Amino acid sequence: MTILLNSEEIKKCVKLNEQLIPIIEDAFKNLALGKTTMPPILRLDIEQYHGESDVKAAYIDGLDSYAIKIASGFFNNPKLGLPSSNGLMILLDSETGVLKSVLLDKGYLTDVRTAIAGAIAAKYLSNPQSTKAGIIGAGIQAKLQLQALSLVRDIETAFIWARDQEKINKFINELKNLNINIHSCTSVEEVVKQSEILVTTTPSKSPLIKNEWLKKGLHITAMGSDAESKNELDPLIIKECDLYIPDSLSQTKILGELHHAIEKNLISSNEKYYELGNIILDPSLGRKNKEDITVCDLTGTGVQDTAIARQTYEIAMNLKLGTKIE
């Protein structure tokens, strides 16, 4: 039996909240332990329309289902009145390959599992007493990342910078109910210098954050870079920070901030780093003291997709949601 879940049904099953944190943590733990099969991302570029489809997939040992996810980004869409992101997930039976579910989430589950990864990064790497967040960008992830941060830290003040003032105003308006004082800043530097936790959420192709702006104790989560050409942090930051943690080292070497530091010969391509899952398994591997500058490099992993697709399907079955299509 194959169940189709549409985006309204999916939103009833899964929301950005604390319950998802241990579920995504488990995915990262399995990844770090090597208890997963996660092939390289398939990426199809449609240059003519400034579009791309990425396919991610991962099997987590012993689980009875696995997800394959198609996520598309078409960057002319806003001009056409359409969201730039889109996508769906396919859930398959691990023993037989039989299709269990088609999740027409339009990218919602990707948005949520990405925000939860940001919460996990801050939970394990930022100073616990951090109250000041900086957000670079004002898109969907900018909003979700601030919401996610407030699941794990008592954020009182947020500083935001984005190219588009209108989007900033919308951001501030939409996040009113978070009870955070949100300040619009006129420069990236202004945000960085006032933040204890900084989250970069842009598709920038050249570094926005300079190394010399960073003050002691800052934690940075860079989640914008998920392609070779994208780059939010000065590569020197990766070299000079006290702790660099990738979500998946094999991916950040190719797609993440690390990739640019390797390309600039600041870091050897053979350099070893603990992954986020290692820190979750043993938090003593994380931040050593209050003064450390820590960086988490998130490229988005198939194991997160498998974890959130499974969770959505399980809740949908309990709530008897979805339509039988086979």
Q: Which of 68/237 has CB closer to a second copy?
A: 68
Spot the catalytic one: 29, 56, 69, 100: 69
Q: By CB neighbour count within 10 A (0-12 exposed, 13-18 middle, 19+ buried), where does 201 fall?
A: buried
Cβ 72 to a second copy shortest distance, Å: 3
Cβ 197 to a second copy shortest distance, Å: 32
What is the C-alpha to C-alpha distance for residues 145 and 149, in angstroms, rounded to an integer? 6
Cβ 308 to a second copy shortest distance, Å: 17
Active site residue 69: yes
Per DSSP, 286 falls in state: S
Sequence-distant (≥ 6) Cβ neighbours of residue 112 within 8 angstroms: 14, 15, 16, 20, 144, 308
Q: Which residues of 239-272 are buried (b: 16+ CB within 10 A; e: fewer)?
A: eebebbbbbbbebbbbbbbbbbbbeeebbeeeee
Cβ 81 to a second copy shortest distance, Å: 10
What is the C-alpha to C-alpha distance for residues 142 and 162, in angstroms, rounded to an integer? 10
What is the C-alpha to C-alpha distance for residues 288 and 14, in angstroms, rounded to an integer? 34
Helix or strand or coil: residue 323?
strand
Tokens of 283: 């938090």
Per DSSP, 84 falls in state: S
Q: Which of 66/108 has CB closer to a second copy?
A: 66
Q: Which of 4/178 has CB closer to a second copy?
A: 4
* Interface positions with a second copy (CB under 8 A): 2, 4, 6, 37, 39-49, 51, 53, 55, 57-59, 61, 66, 68, 70, 72-74, 76-77, 80, 82, 86, 88, 90, 92, 94-99, 102, 104, 323, 325-326
Q: Which of 59/161 has CB closer to a second copy?
A: 59
| Beta-ladder partners of 199 | 135, 221
Q: Which of 50/205 has CB closer to a second copy?
A: 50
Q: Where are the alpha helices (DSSP H) in the chain?
A: 7-13, 20-32, 108-125, 140-152, 165-174, 188-194, 235-240, 249-255, 257-263, 276-281, 302-318
Q: Which of 226/292 has CB closer to a second copy?
A: 226
Strand 323-324 with 3-5, pairing: antiparallel
Cβ 253 to a second copy shortest distance, Å: 17
Cβ 174 to a second copy shortest distance, Å: 25
Strand 157-161 with 132-136, pairing: parallel
Instruction: List residues with catalytic annotation.
Output: 69
